[in-house]
Structure 1
Amino acid sequence: MAVKGTIPKTMKALVAYSKDDYRFEPEYPTPECGADDIIIKTEACGICAGDLKCSHGAAMFWGDDIQPSWVKPPFIPGHEFFGTVVQIGENVTDFQLGDRVAADQIVPCGKCRFCKDGHYWMCQPHDMFGFMYYTNGGMAEYVRYPKNAVVSKIPADMLMEQAVLIEPYGCSKHAVDRAEISNEDVVVISGAGTLGLGMVTYARMKNPKLLIVLDMQDNRLAKAKEFGADLILNPGKCDIDKEIKALTEGYGCDIYIEATGNPASVIQGLTIIRKLGTFVEFSVFSKETTVDWSIIGDRKELDIRGAHLSPYAYPFVIENMSKGNLKTDGIVTTTISLEDWERGFKLAGGAEGDLKVVIKFD
């Protein structure tokens, strides 16, 4: 088999052997390149809230008495990553050595009903980078992109601080698209972390009647204002229901996008949204949320929409980051080495007020 490019036999990697056993491995086997594969040298990998919740043992990843385990250890975490092509298999024709690339988090099977009808991000097997041993993620020096990976090229001159945000901003775009915002809508985005801010800068391009952002941290609200919010509100400092109702003649917001992963934000949204409104849920939750479902049906007849991953989003995100239409300044707040991953995970959990913490490779 002809393979172009060479890579070392071992690499530095963070490996999850179980929910209680994450280890930095200085000499882990590098991935092997098959005939249809691409091997990239990782430039950087962001630490996502999903990575943190997985490392904390959340049941949606590791299973419990109700649901089976989804992850397949030992695996290398990380899905917010990009890099440079350093090895390609003999059947690869669309990419060359030296290309900068990023891939969708999911690796679709191409055979299930969802893949066949174009909804590849809901692929039934649902293999994703950073959670399975056969689709290892970006917290390693090298990553293998298999044949079915959805790979996009990145401009050679794109800054690391932008390129590492392609995956989260793709998710932000999909969530906002699910809301179907018009220029007559009062839109509330709850949460101004990395994903929420990605939603803010993209929602601004939709030109809503009023774009309101909620967060408990004033520094994040200031960034939301910089990224295009018309109004910023801190739920810890004011009565959100009263404020939103005062702005909408007592009706409530037309659209509520939940991006915090906090059960209180869900209840808040159901309170402040108007009848016949649209509620979009994106977040990964670490615990269950209990609400009065009669609000959804009998009282308000709401449209409740989920948002998962970043389908068909990368080309748009890459183009509009490059043009400056999607703001990214100040999102990456800390870069660390892979060896310092434990501190990185702690910082990504908000220990010192960071937005996006990134593992950067030489």
Structure 2
Amino acid sequence: MALNEENARRSNRTMTAIVCHGPEDYRVEQVERPVPGECEMVLRIAFCGICASDCKCWSGAKMFWGGDKPYVKPPVIPGHEFYGHVDELGPGAAEHFGVSVGDRVIAEQIVPCDQCRFCRSGKYWMCEVHNIFGFQRVVADGGMAEYMRIPRTARVHKIDEGISADDAAIIEPLSCAIHTINRGEIQLDDVVVIAGAGPIGLMMVQVAKLKTPKLLIAIDMVDERLKLAKSFGADVVINPREQDALSIVRSLTDGYGCDVYVEATGSPSGVEQGLNLVRKLGRFVEFSVFGAPATIDWSIIGDRKELDIRGAHLGPYCYPIAINLLSRGLVTSRGIVTHRYPLNEWDRAIAVANSLDSIKVLMEAKSPEKG
């Protein structure tokens, strides 16, 4: 961009953004460009991924964190799978975040309050206030825009320059995948089932393979995704539309069932499937965000199997690990990132993201960076 054009852009302080006004009412608008305050910065966004939770919010699914606090409080600019370059620094921000203008960085999806009992004890990802970029405008909007303000309590990480644009765009979901797999405490002799080969499920397969379990099984209803899971290291893939998952898993485990079951389908049926597939005293790790309640027989968990049920939320302390794995080529976005759209093609992008024609869809803001 020529210098005079850049100066003109800065003077009018507007930018292009996607704004959520309600279910299926997301509009491409010209909005005021953010200004950094003390110990804050503004990013020039490169890419922002469309998450499955974004699709569910767009379609109007009833999703809540608990009580009467909904996921989305419009109007708000959505997007939490973003990264970009430092464009402006407020007073004290360079020292506070340890960054300079031009650095390629990512902020974790949650903006902790740093005051509640969870934040003060280091468990910031369970912050009681729980502001997440792109879902409410309490602290800042999300990343589906040309620019984005990063508040002072955000957790910010630099991205190695050797990491490709597409790989950088999956750092957030990869961090979630790493945290989930770590929650499973996979051992060398474990049989592990990962249910759901969507973007994060496929990253879970790659991360779980690095744990070298005895057997790694992926389950999904889309053969193309299972083929990709196989290329990422799954030893066995199962399409439950065509195969009996319970019979196959039991045949591979002397009739006992898997040691670890990771639920990443986002479907209530995935929960019931997992309770049947996991062995007695096994570990069930729940990651998904559901658009509808899951009804199960709780006696399976206690009386019949005494299962260890574990949740997995966000990607705490995992962003540096994700960046390191990507920089070493141990995890990849290849085959996962399938589509890229400019901001003004939102309607097309969400339609593709909300279908089985894609795996990961990225929204591209104005940036010189390419895949």
TM-score, normalised via structure 2 length: 0.93
Amino acid at match of 2:76: F
User: Aligned residue for 2:61?
Assistant: 58
Shift of 1:264: 1.1
Equivalent residue, structure 2, for 1:336: 341
5 Å-filtered alignment, 1:255-266, equals: 255-266=260-271
Q: Distance in 2 between matches of 1:118 and 1:240?
A: 40
What residue in structure 1 maps to residue 360 of structure 2?
Answer: 356
Distance 2:230 2:332 in 1: 12
**SS of residue paired to 2:77:** coil
Q: How does 1:186-335 map to 2 (within 5 A)?
A: 186-335=191-340
Which whole-Å CA distance do the structure 1 matches of 2:112 and 2:188 have between them? Answer: 35
Task: State the 1:70 CA deviation.
Answer: 4.3
* Change beyond 3 A, Cα 1:62–1:250: closer
| Structure 1 residue 286: Cα displacement | 0.7
Deviations 1:207-232 (A, max 9, x none): 10100001111110111011111111
Tell me which amino acid in the other structure corresponds to 1:263: P
Deviations 1:230-259 (A, max 9, x none): 111111111111111111111000000000
Give unpaired runs (5+ residues) of structure 2: 1-5, 367-371
Unaligned runs of at least 5 residues, structure 1: none
Decide which of 46, 59, 64 is 1:43's aligned counterpart.
46
Deviation at 1:158, TM superposition (A): 1.9
CA distance in 2, matches of 1:68, 1:309: 18
SS of the equivalent of 1:162 reads helix
| 1:263 CA drift (Å) | 1.1
Deviation at 1:62, TM superposition (A): 10
**Other-structure match for 2:161:** 156
Deviation by residue 1:35-92 (Cα, 9 ceiling, x = unmatched): 11010000000000111111112222599xx734343321100000000001001212
RMSD: 1.6
Match of 1:71 in 2: 72
Deviation (angstroms), 1:177: 0.5
1:188/1:213 contact within 8 Å kept: yes
8 Å contact from structure 2 (residues 167, 332) kept in 1: no
- Whichever residue aligns with residue 84 of structure 2, its letter is G
Letter in 2 for 1:50: S
Q: 1:24 aligns with which of 22, 28, 34?
A: 28
Distance in 1 (alpha carbons) for counterparts of 2:65 and 2:295: 22
For 1:290, give the aligned amino acid: T
Within the candidate set 171, 175, 192, 1:170 is matched to 175
Q: Is the 8 A contact 2:194 2:264 kept in 1?
A: yes
Count residues with an aligned counterpart.
354
Aligned partner of 1:81 in structure 2 is 82
C-alpha separation in 1, matches of 2:61 and 2:140: 20
CA distance in 1, matches of 2:277, 2:339: 35
Shift of 1:361: 1.9
1:38–1:146: 8 Å Cα contact kept in structure 2? Answer: yes
- Using the size of structure 1 for normalisation, the TM-score is 0.95
Matches within 5 A, 1:4-23: 8=10, 9-23=13-27
